[in-house]
């Protein structure tokens, strides 16, 4: 299989997994296969193997603390939810949360960390549940950002503008 060939090539060091072009190609392949794997159990297994190689490449190419790791760990968690591998999903939501704390701050200061803490504590069991939770989180962020109708926020802005004039 293609996934086995990729794994073998990386093991025999024909290609170095540290090389960003290998990472980019594996990432692209895994995304394409992930779409096709929804209906095909064999492709799901191969897709998981490709994602394992992407994960390995990320660990080798990015520094220990890097924001892209947050995004990829969260992406891997989402993919594992899609593949029905809920233990792996929890593992990667937890990794994303742990990395988010290191690179963007604790949940008390950062919405991303707060959201990932929820997913790490209680990962979604279905794609539908995951989408609903992301939708609710997006609404929460939008509500926090919409201060146009918030009289207190408008007063603070007005007071700040008066100080600078």
pLDDT tens for each residue of 63-103: 889 888 898 899 889 888 988 889 999 999 999 999 999 99
User: Of the candidates 68, 67, 69, 96, which has an alpha carbon nearest to the alpha carbon of residue 81?
Assistant: 96
Over residues 8-36, the mean pLDDT reads 62
pLDDT for res 3? 60
Over residues 31-45, the mean pLDDT reads 61
pLDDT for res 101? 93
pLDDT for res 86? 93
Question: Tokens representing 72?
Answer: 């990829």
Q: Are 86 and 123 in contact (CB under 8 A)?
A: yes
- Model confidence at 126, pLDDT cuts 50, 70, 90, reads very high
Length of the chain: 165
The residue that leads in pLDDT, 151 or 71, is 71
What 38-46 contacts at long range (C-beta under 8 Å, 24+ apart), as own/partner pairs, is: 38/82, 44/83, 45/3, 46/1, 46/2, 46/3
* Lowest pLDDT segment from 59-68, 108-117, 148-157: 148-157
Separation between Cα atoms, residue 43 and residue 1, nearest integer Å: 10
Q: Are 98 and 73 in contact (CB under 8 A)?
A: no
User: Of the candidates 123, 49, 126, which has an alpha carbon nearest to the alpha carbon of residue 82?
Assistant: 126
Q: What is the pTM of this model?
A: 0.68
pLDDT at 54 over 90: no
Separation between Cα atoms, residue 91 and residue 52, nearest integer Å: 13
What is the DSSP secondary structure assignment for residue 85, as one 8-state letter?
Answer: -
SS3 content of the chain, % helix, strand, coil (to 5): 80, 0, 20
Over residues 7-22, the mean pLDDT reads 59
Write out the H or E segment, with its range, that includes residue 118.
Answer: helix 111-121
Half-sphere exposure (Cβ direction) of 65: Cα atoms closer than 13 Å = 7
**Count of CB atoms within 10 A of residue 20's CB?**
10
Over residues 115-125, the mean pLDDT reads 93
Over residues 129-151, the mean pLDDT reads 72
Question: Tokens representing 137?
Answer: 């989180």
pLDDT for res 8? 65
């Amino acid at each position: 299989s293609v996934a086995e060939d990729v794994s073998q090539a990386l093991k025999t060091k024909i290609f170095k997994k540290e090389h960003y072009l290998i990472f980019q190609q594996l990432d692209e392949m895994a995304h394409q296969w992930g779409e096709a794997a929804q209906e095909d159990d064999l492709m799901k297994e191969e897709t998981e193997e490709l994602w394992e190689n992407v994960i390995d490449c990320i660990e080798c190419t990015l520094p220990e603390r890097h924001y892209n790791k947050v995004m990829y760990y969260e992406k891997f968690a989402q993919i594992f939810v899609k593949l029905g591998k809920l233990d792996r999903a929890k593992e990667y939501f937890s990794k994303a949360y742990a990395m988010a704390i290191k690179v963007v701050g604790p949940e008390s200061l950062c919405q991303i960390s707060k959201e990932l803490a929820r997913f790490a504590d209680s990962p979604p069991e279905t794609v539908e549940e995951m989408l609903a939770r992301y939708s609710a989180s997006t609404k929460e962020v939008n509500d926090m950002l919409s201060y146009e109708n918030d009289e207190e926020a408008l007063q603070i802005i007005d007071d700040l503008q008066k100080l600078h004039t």
